[in-house]
Structure 1
Amino acid sequence: MQTRRAFCSLFIFFLCITLTAALTPPAGAAPEDRVLVLEIAEAITPASDNLIADAIERAENGNFEALVISLDTPGGGLEETQIIIKAIENATIPVIGYVPESGKAWSAGTLILMGTDIAGMAPFTVIGSAQPVQMSAEGTKPVEDEKIINALVKFSVETARKHGRNETFAEEVITKNRNLNDEEALEEGVIEYRASSIPDLLAQVDGERVKDRRLQTANAEIEIYSPPLPLSFLKLISNPVLSSLLLTIGLYGIIFGIANPGAGAEIFGIIAIVLGLIGTGFNINIAAFFLIMVGVGLLILELESPGFGIFGLAGLISLIIGSVFLVPLGAENIYTPEFRRTLLLTIVTPTIILGLFLVFAIYKVAETRKKKPVIGAIIGDIARTIDPIEPEKRGFVRYRGEYWKARSEEEIGAEEEVEIIGKEMEVLVVKRKI
Structure 2
Amino acid sequence: MSRALRCLLCFLVLCVFTGASAQAPAQRAVVVLEVDGAIGPASEDYLHRGLALAQREHAQLLVLQLDTPGGLDTAMRGMIKDILSSSVPVATFVAPGGARAASAGTYILYASHVAAMTPASTLGAATPVAIGLPSGGGTAPRPAASAPFPSASGPSAAEAGDALAAKRISDAAAYIRGLAQLRGRNADWAEKAVRDAASLSAPEAIQLKVVDLVATDVPDLLQKLDGRELQMGATVQRLQTRGAPVVAFDQDWRSRLLSVITNPSLALLLMMAGVYGLAFEFSSPGLVAPGVIGAICLVLALFSLHMLPVNYAGLALILLGIAFLVAEAYLPTFGVVGFGGIVAFAFGCVMLIDSDSPGYGIPLPFIAVLTAASAAFLLIVGGLAVRTRRRPVVTGPQTLVGAGGELVEYAGGTGWAVVQGEHWRVRGPDQLHAGDRVRVHGLHDGVLEIVPL
TM above 0.5, yes or no, is yes
Give the whole-Å Cα distance in 1 for the aligned partners of 2:206 and 2:272: 45
Q: Distance in 1 between matches of 2:282 and 2:127?
A: 43
Moved more, 251-260 or 195-204: 251-260
Structure 2 partner of 1:83: 78
SS at match of 1:220: coil
TM-score by length of structure 2 reads: 0.55
CA distance in 2, matches of 1:112, 1:254: 43
Secondary structure of 1:268's aligned partner: helix
Match of 1:243 in 2: 267
Q: 1:124 aligned to 2:120?
A: yes
Q: Which amino acid aligns with 1:215?
A: L
1:19/1:92 CA distance change after superposition, 3 Å = closer
Q: Is the 8 A contact 2:109 2:115 kept in 1?
A: yes
Q: Is the 8 A contact 1:247 1:272 kept in 2?
A: yes
Q: What is the one-letter code of the residue matched to 1:238?
A: T
Supply the distance in 2 between the matched residues of 1:73 and 1:280 (Cα, whole angstroms): 22
**SS where residue 262 of structure 1 aligns?**
coil
Shift of 1:227: 5.1
Asked if structure 2 preserves the Cα contact closer than 8 Å seen for 1:101 and 1:123, the reply is no
Match status 1:201 vs 2:226: no
Distance 1:254 1:5, change over 3 A: same
Instruction: State the identity %.
Output: 32
Shift of 1:244: 3.8
What is the alpha-carbon distance in structure 2 between the residues aligned to residue 128 and residue 277 of structure 1?
A: 34
Letter of the 2:61 partner, please give it.
Answer: A
Per-residue deviation, 1:91: 1.0
Equivalent runs, 1:149-188 vs 2, <5 Å: 149-188=169-208
- What's the TM-score, normalizing by structure 1? 0.57
Partner of 1:67: 62
Specify whether residues 260 and 80 from structure 1 end up closer, same or farther in structure 2 by C-alpha distance, changes over 3 A only.
same
Distance 1:69 1:281, change over 3 A: farther
Q: SS where residue 207 of structure 1 aligns?
A: coil
Q: Residue 127 of structure 2 contacts residue 135 of structure 2 at CA under 8 Å; is this kept in 1?
A: no
Aligned: 1:113 with 2:109:
yes
Match of 2:440 in 1: none
CA distance in 1, matches of 2:17, 2:192: 61
CA distance in 1, matches of 2:227, 2:17: 30
| Counterpart Cα distance in 2 of 1:141 and 1:256 | 41
Contact in 1 for aligned 2:73/2:104 (Cα 8 Å): yes
Within the alignment, does 1:133 sit opposite 2:129 as a pair?
yes
Whether the aligned pair in 2 keeps the contact of 1:97 and 1:118 (CA below 8 Å) is yes
RMSD between aligned residues = 3.1
How far is 1:280 from its partner? 4.1
Aligned equivalent of 1:352: none
One-letter code aligned to 1:222? V
Q: Which runs of 5+ in 2 are unaligned?
A: 137-160, 309-453
Aligned residue among 148, 163, 177 for 2:168: 148
Any gaps of 5 or more consecutive residues in structure 1?
Answer: 284-434
Residue of structure 2 aligned with 1:276, choices 288, 291, 301: 301
Between the aligned partners of 1:7 and 1:58, the Cα distance in structure 2 is 50
Say if 1:166 and 1:18 are closer, same or farther in 2 by CA, change over 3 A. Answer: closer
Map of 2:285 onto structure 1: 261
SS at match of 2:50: helix
Shift of 1:135: 5.6
Which residue pairs with 2:91 in the alignment? 96
Task: Name the count of aligned residue pairs.
Answer: 276
Matches within 5 A, 1:196-345: 196-210=216-230, 211=232, 212=235, 213-226=237-250, 230-263=254-287, 264-282=289-307
Go from structure 1 to structure 2 and tell me whether the alpha carbon gap of 1:203 and 1:231 turns closer, same or farther (over 3 Å shift). Answer: same
1:277–1:193 Cα change, 3 Å? farther
> Match of 2:286, as an amino acid?
G
CA contact (8 A) 1:46 1:281 kept: no
- Determine helix, strand or coil for the equivalent of 1:246: helix
Q: Does structure 1 retain, via aligned residues, the 8 Å contact 2:34–2:250? A: no
8 Å Cα contact 2:103-2:127 kept in structure 1: yes
Looking at structure 1, the residues matched to 273 and 128 of structure 2 have their Cα atoms a distance apart, in angstroms, of 29
Q: Distance in 2 between matches of 1:86 and 1:19?
A: 44
| d(CA) in 2 for partners of 1:160, 1:18 | 47
